[in-house]
Structures are given as structure tokens and as C-alpha cells.
Structure 1
Amino acid sequence: MDILIVKNLTKRYGDKEVFSNISFTIPKGKFIFLCGENGSGKTTLFKAIMQMVKVDDGKILIDDSIIKKKTDICFITDQVILYDNLTVCEMLALVLDINDIKKNTSQKQEILKHFYCEEIKNKKIKQCSLGMKKRVQLMCGMVLEPKLMLMDEFFSGIDSEKYEEIKIILKEYVKNGNTVIMTSHIKKIRQELAELEISM
């Protein structure tokens, strides 16, 4: 069964056509890479799937239906968007609270451990390295248990050790029947993770 169906999608900004008449389907439980040169519309397509921008024509279906709730999908951009003055633990608690997800202290500890964030749980976000921040960002997205994750150049600036940790997390996520669509200019990542590739 397909998790995502894109039908005849077109997006314009004024006279500029970003993409035209795009159609593809994404099966569940796969690691997909969206390929294309800079400016080919990959980020805009992600934003369209997230309903952050309006398309000019076409349709996007999640699980054979119009998107019902935003937590069905998680969009992680190449820019880290977190609250600098919160600790890692406080950041997790805030995301859970905003989304009305109930977790006890023990469950929160397990989440921190799963995302390799246990040792940094009392660090303020502004004190964390880029690799640490990206793990926190990933944790805050995946704790919502989305069916589909869109990741735009997520691995940029991450060292090899953190890459291996995040790779384990994402492979387990996909193994459990979820889907990742990712853009990356790093050839090694595409070679190691991609099950399918879609070109823009």
C-alpha cells in the first residue's frame, strides 16, 4: 500500500514555474531519496506535502485520503528550529505537552535514551553542538509517531559518529512500517540508505 500519492502537481510563483505536472507514489516502509539539482523544487514540494504552501494544480493524498492531522507527517528542515534557552529535557516535555501526549518520567527517559540524548538532557539547546541539536530535532519530530518523515538535507554538518547513531534510529523507524523521504547531496548517505530514488 502507498503512504503518499502525488497527482499532477504544479506550483508557480508568479510567472516562475517551480515544478509542473509531477506525479509519483511512495510505498509504505521505504527509505526514499528525492533527487534533483538546487532550485529544482525539492523543498517546495516538501512544503506542499506539509500544506505550508498552496499548489496551483494537482492533489496530494496521504494513506489514500486527504491529510487528516499534521502529526501524520513530520518535516525536518536543514535549519535547526528549537528553543535555545530550554534544556533538552524541557524541549521534549514542551513538544509532548503541546501535542497532548502523555508520558511518565520513565517513558521520557526511554525516549531520551533511544535518541542518544540521555547524557545531554540537562544541557541547554544553545550549549549543544550541531550534531546534538539535530538529534534533539529528530527526537521532537519522531516522538509524535508520524507515518511519514520528510527530511531536507538533514545530515548536513553532522559528523560520522552522529550519522551512524541517526542511521540506526531511521532504519528502525522504516523497519516498523514507516516511510522516510529525504534529500541529501552526500553520495554516501544515498548509497547506504536509499531503497528508491525519485528525480525532480
Structure 2
Amino acid sequence: MSILSVDNLCKNYGAVQALNGVTFSVPKGSVFGILGPNGSGKTTMLGIIMDILKPTAGSYTLFDTTPDENSRRKIGTFLETPNFYHYLSAVRNLKITAAIKQRGDEDILQVLETVNLTERKDSRFSTYSLGMKQRLAIASCLLGNPDVLIFDEPTNGLDPVGIAEIRELIKQLRQQGKTIIMASHLLDEVEKVCTHVAILKKGKLIAAGDVNEILANDDIVELGAPDMEKLKNIIGRLTGYNDIKEHDNLLQLFYPVGTTNLESINRYCFENGVVLNYMQLKKKSLESKFFELTN
């Protein structure tokens, strides 16, 4: 079952094309990251999904059906900076939120427990740290026990402790069976908490799928020998690597993570008449992979 399916979605603001033919699907039970630099169309995408904005072209479904008020009531959203009454407590603010959303307030204490704010439930919102404010916003999303949660930059502006708290909370919510769709410009955030990702650049979809496939960290083996032409010839017959490049008079072999065996590569070269004078294993960073995709 697809929680969300987007088909050739477009959104224009005059001559500016915020989304340009975007297509992807969000599997049930996933943490799906919409990743891209600022201005890539992430927030526009979420606005369309929640019927805040109308698409110029294309379509989308929620829960494999045409979106309507009932389907959107299954979704908890956090699309803006937390906006609560500063002079009221967490409990009072959530009572107001529940009334606005036409949801019961019987689960307020439960959602506060989920986001680890029980001890501060009677404190004024103005006394909260930014991380606590973000967690209270997530608590408001959980009212009514929705199946799906949508977050726009949930760790924006937080310090490292606050970021770690939100990441851990997202992991816990997924373990509870929630599907989470989150927009972020932080590669590290998506890599640490998401199971799937769609990467946007200037409104276009660059890649979409499993995080481990889209943002794979390659093992790179660099090889050098006195006779580089002979080395290239024999390496061309070697199997197991995904790609081969030349860099600074060295050969670079790109292997899937964890599959590299330097001893067998060295033995293969020696048995085929090439003595290596250089061999080194390197890791291809997620950052370089991301820049490759977006540039």
C-alpha cells in the first residue's frame, strides 16, 4: 500500500517552476525524506499534499484513493514554526489545538508522554527551549492518533542535543507503526532517520528510492603500478566492482560497501603479471554522493 503517490506533479508561480514533473511513492511504515537545498520545492510539495496549495498540473493520491477531508484527517502535520500561546501550559495549548482540529482531548497526557514532556506539562510555553517547543508541536500532530505524520524541517534551528532528541522521537514513532514524511535540507538527518528518500533540485526529481541505494557509500580501492596500461587491461577482466575511474595516475575501483577484499585484488594482479606499488581503501562520503546527484 502506498501512503502517498505523486504523479507528474507541477507547480508554477508565474515564470518560476517550483515543481517540475515530480513522481514518487511513499510506502506504508516508512520514514520518507524529501531532501534538497533551500528553494528545491520541498515545502511546496508538502503544501500541495495538505491542500494548502493547488498544483498547476499532475495528480496525487493518499492511501491509494483520491484525497478528501477524511483521508487528510488521518494525517498529523507540522509545517510551520511551533505556534502556541506563550502564557499557557502545554496541556492548555493542546486542549485548544484538539478543539481546533475537532479531535478529542483524552489522549493529551499520552502524547505528552510520547514526546517526553510529561514533567513540564504544566509549564508555560514561554519557558520551553526550542527543542521542547518542537516536541510539543509533534505532540499536537499526534492528537487523534493519526496513521501518517508530515514534518517540514523538524530539526530546523535546534542545537545538537535537540536534533538528537527529535531524531530519536522519529525512530520511536516509526516503531509504533507510523508512516512519516519529512522535508529536510540536511543530508545527515535523512541518512540517519529515513528509510526512503526523494531528492529534489530546483523543482525536479533527481532520484527516489531506498536510502541505502540512493545514498550508498561506496568503498573505493585505489591502485597503482609501474605499468599502468597493463594494470588497466587486467583490471578490465576483474569482477565485483560497480565502476572504474582514473584519477591522478591511479585506478579507482568502486565496490558496494563491505564487499572489498584487498588481499584477493592484490593476488589477482600478481598472478596476472602486475606488481602493485600502491593500494589504498577509501570511503566515498555521503556528501560527495549527494553533490554528484544535485550537481
TM-score by length of 1: 0.89
Q: Secondary structure at the match of 1:135?
A: helix
Q: 1:100, CA displacement in angstroms?
A: 3.8
- Tell me which residue corresponds to 1:29: 29
Whether the aligned pair in 1 keeps the contact of 2:155 and 2:162 (CA below 8 Å) is no
Q: 2:283 matched to which residue of 1?
A: none
- Hey, what does 2:86 align to over in structure 1? 84
1:51 matched to which residue of 2?
51
- Pick the structure with greater CA Rg: 2
Residue pairs, 1:3-152, within 5 angstroms:
3-69=3-69, 70-104=72-106, 107-152=107-152
Answer yes or no: is the 8 Å Cα contact 2:36–2:185 preserved in 1: no
Q: Which has the higher contact order (CA 8 A, sep 6+)?
A: 1
Query: In 1, distance between residues paired with 2:159 and 2:39?
Result: 26
Structure 1 unaligned runs (5+)?
Answer: none
**1:39–1:99 Cα change, 3 Å:** closer
Which SS does the other structure have where 1:96 is aligned? Answer: helix
Deviations 1:44-99 (A, max 9, x none): 01101111011111111100112233322233135222222221110111222333
Q: 2:132 corresponds to which letter in structure 1?
A: M
Q: What amino acid does structure 2 have at the position aligned with 1:77?
A: L
Deviation at 1:103, TM superposition (A): 4.4
For residues 36 and 167 of structure 1, what CA distance do their matches in structure 2 show? Answer: 18
Opposite residue 2 of structure 1, the aligned amino acid is: S
Contact 1:29 1:176 in 2 (8 A): no
User: How much does 1:11 deviate?
Assistant: 0.4
> Over residues 90-127 of structure 1, what are the superposed CA-to-partner deviations in whole Å (9 max), with x where a residue is unaligned?
011122233343344xx533332222111211111122
Q: 1:43 to 1:100 in 2, by over 3 A?
A: closer
Equivalent AA in structure 1 for residue 136 of structure 2: V
Q: Tell me the CA shift for residue 18 of structure 1.
A: 0.9
Identify the residue that residue 180 of structure 2 maps to in structure 1: 180
| 2: CA distance, partners of 1:187 / 1:78 | 20
Cα distance, 1:189 vs structure 2: 2.0
Segments of structure 2 that go 5 or more residues without pairing to the other structure are 201-295
Sequence identity (%): 27
